[in-house]
Structure formats: C-alpha cells, structure tokens
C-alpha cells in the first residue's frame, strides 16, 4: 500500500526536500488536530491493544477509533495482529518523537511567564533538566504561593540548606521554620550579615531558641547571590525575586540530578568562603 498523501501534496518525486518537509508537517498536523490520536499511538507503542481498549482509554466513539486506526495503517504506523493492533517500528519511532516534542512544549509553557524572573545562572541550565520541575509563581490574589510551596517542601525534609538572600522567603514562615529546626531538622543557612543582624534583633527570643537547639548553623557571606537556592533531602528549590520589592516572585523545584549537582556546587563554593555567625558580634 502506498504512503498516504492528502490532496494538494506535491507528487513530483521523493528527492525534493520541500516535498518531504510538507508531508512531514501534514502528518504532524494530522496527529495533533485531535488529542486522542497521539494517545492512541502512544498506547499502541506501549503494548498491543484492541479497539475496545482504545475506546476505553480515549473516551471517543467506535467510529472515530476505526477511522484513526485506518489512517494509522495507511501510514504504516500500526498493523493488526488478530483482534489487537500494535505499532510497527515506524509507528514506535513517531510515537517516541511526539512524546519528546510534547514534553518540550509543556516545559516551555510552564516556564514561559516566569522565565524573565529567573537568574541568568538558572536560564543557562539545559532546559531538559527542568522538564519535570514544579513552577510556582506569585499571583496578584495569592502573592505567597512560592512561600507556601517552600513550606510544603520544608515539612517533608530532615535536612535543609540555603544560600542567597533569604529574608523574603524565610521571614513569612519563620515560626514554622524555627519549630522544624528545634524539633530536629538539621539546617545550615548562608546569610548576608545584614540579614542575620536583622533576624536576631527583630526576633531575639525565637532566634535564641533556634540557635540553642544545636540544629542550626548560620554562616555569613558578604557577596551572595541575588536569588536563593534551597537544598532539601530530595529536591532543589530555586527562588527568583522582584528586584524592586524584594518579594519572592517564583520558585522552581525539581529532583533532577543535573540541577542537584549544579546547586550543590554553587552552595559549596559560597560555603568555603563563608564565616561562622559566632564571629559576628550579636545585636541585642
């Protein structure tokens, strides 16, 4: 059976690059015009399935599934094996490519509105490493969404480290953070001296109790990042701030190993240059 060609295609041979590109675009357009088509091809790439299986999976009618399967057969993406259908090597190749393409677009859409808020060091990371990241942006009606996401991660970790300007992130949840530390969460924070002085003078009793627990180490650094890196047990969080107000505008968190390696490297580089809080004269 000849490969499927829609009306209007150039039939003038297979050697021209334009013809090949147009046909490929037509196939992509065909797959993406109806959401169930990609779902069917992906499902058949996983394992053989019957028409009934595909109807249950997609929720579309029997006639729609039938038309889709005929189109796939004409393109030689699938073949029938008894009462079930399975992908050919060509169909599996197309399904894999569509999954990757959709994942790229999904990643781009999640990052599109917050991309400009992220520091240059984060934008220089390979976007593939952020494919599974959770993106939490502040909204007009919910300005503390990034802080609330941070707190939810804090509740699930036994060890926490932070480097950067932390006031806008940590001050709104200071009571819960300090309670977690007193209750045993091992914590290390690399702070600017001005922030450490502010916290100790503004919340003296809370600061004293937290430091006396023995679970908190504060290190001071005079030239820190203009964003924040949070290191939890299993995830890394990156905070972007509004340069004018200093509020947290976005938090991205992920368990991607490449991001973890980058964040650990940045953290350790600042840690080597930092000095203990004990070297600073406390402000009462």
| CA-wise closest residue to 90 among 78, 98, 102, 103 | 78
Residue 244 maps to a domain: yes
Backbone angles phi, psi at 160, to 5 degrees: -135, 135
pTM for this entry: 0.71
Tokens of 234: 């299993």
Asked if 42 and 92 count as a contact pair (C-beta separation under 8 A), the reply is: no
Per-residue model confidence (pLDDT) at position 30: 92
Q: Dihedral sign for Cα 58, 63, 64, 67, please.
A: positive
The count of structural domains within the chain is 2
Note the pLDDT tens digit of each residue in 49-102.
Answer: 999 999 999 999 999 999 999 999 999 999 999 999 999 999 999 999 998 888
Q: Does 89 share its domain with 134?
A: no
Q: Does 66 share its domain with 125?
A: no
From 52, 69, 101, the end of a domain falls on: 101
How would residue 114 be classed by pLDDT, with cut points 50, 70 and 90?
confident
- Tokens 């046909």: give the residue: 23
Per-residue model confidence (pLDDT) at position 22: 54
Per-residue model confidence (pLDDT) at position 24: 86
Residue 284 maps to a domain: no
Q: Does 91 share its domain with 135?
A: no
Residue environment code for 149-177, b if the CB has 16+ CB neighbours within 10 A, otherwise e: bbbebbeebeebbbbbbbbbbbebbbeeb
As to burial, measured by CB atoms within 10 angstroms (0-12 exposed, 13-18 middle, 19+ buried), residue 213 is middle
Per-residue model confidence (pLDDT) at position 21: 54
Cβ neighbors of 24 (< 8 A, separation 6 or more) are: none
Per-residue model confidence (pLDDT) at position 15: 42
How would residue 264 be classed by pLDDT, with cut points 50, 70 and 90?
very high
Q: Does 217 share its domain with 260?
A: yes
Per-residue model confidence (pLDDT) at position 212: 92
Provide the domain limits for residue 28. Answer: 17-101
Q: Does 39 share its domain with 135?
A: no
Note the pLDDT tens digit of each residue in 216-234.
Answer: 999 999 999 888 999 999 9
Q: Is the model's pLDDT at 20 over the cut of 60?
A: no
């Amino acid at each position: 059976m000849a490969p499927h060609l829609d009306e209007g295609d150039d039939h003038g041979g297979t050697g021209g690059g334009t013809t090949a590109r147009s046909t490929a675009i037509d196939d992509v357009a065909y797959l993406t015009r109806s959401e169930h088509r990609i779902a069917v091809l992906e499902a058949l790439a996983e394992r053989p399935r019957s028409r009934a299986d595909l109807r249950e999976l997609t929720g579309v009618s029997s006639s729609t599934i039938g038309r889709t399967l005929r189109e796939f057969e004409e393109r030689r993406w699938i073949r029938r094996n008894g009462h079930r259908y399975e992908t050919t090597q060509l169909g599996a190749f197309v399904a894999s490519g569509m999954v990757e393409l959709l994942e790229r677009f999904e990643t781009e859409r999640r990052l599109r509105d917050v991309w400009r808020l992220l520091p240059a060091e984060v934008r220089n990371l390979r976007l593939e490493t952020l494919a599974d990241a959770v993106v939490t942006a502040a909204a007009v009606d919910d300005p503390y969404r990034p802080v609330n996401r941070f707190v939810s991660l804090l509740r699930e970790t036994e060890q926490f480290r932070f480097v950067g300007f932390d006031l806008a992130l940590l001050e709104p949840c200071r009571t819960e953070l300090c309670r977690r530390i007193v209750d045993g969460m091992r914590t290390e924070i690399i702070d600017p001296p001005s922030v450490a002085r502010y916290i100790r003078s503004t919340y003296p009793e809370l600061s004293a109790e937290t430091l006396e627990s023995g679970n908190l180490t504060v290190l001071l650094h005079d030239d820190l990042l203009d964003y924040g890196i949070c290191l939890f047990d299993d995830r890394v969080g990156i905070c972007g701030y509004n340069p004018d107000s200093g509020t947290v505008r976005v938090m991205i968190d992920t368990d991607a190993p490449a991001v973890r390696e980058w964040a650990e490297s940045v953290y350790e580089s600042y840690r080597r240059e930092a000095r203990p809080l004990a070297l600073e004269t406390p402000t009462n």
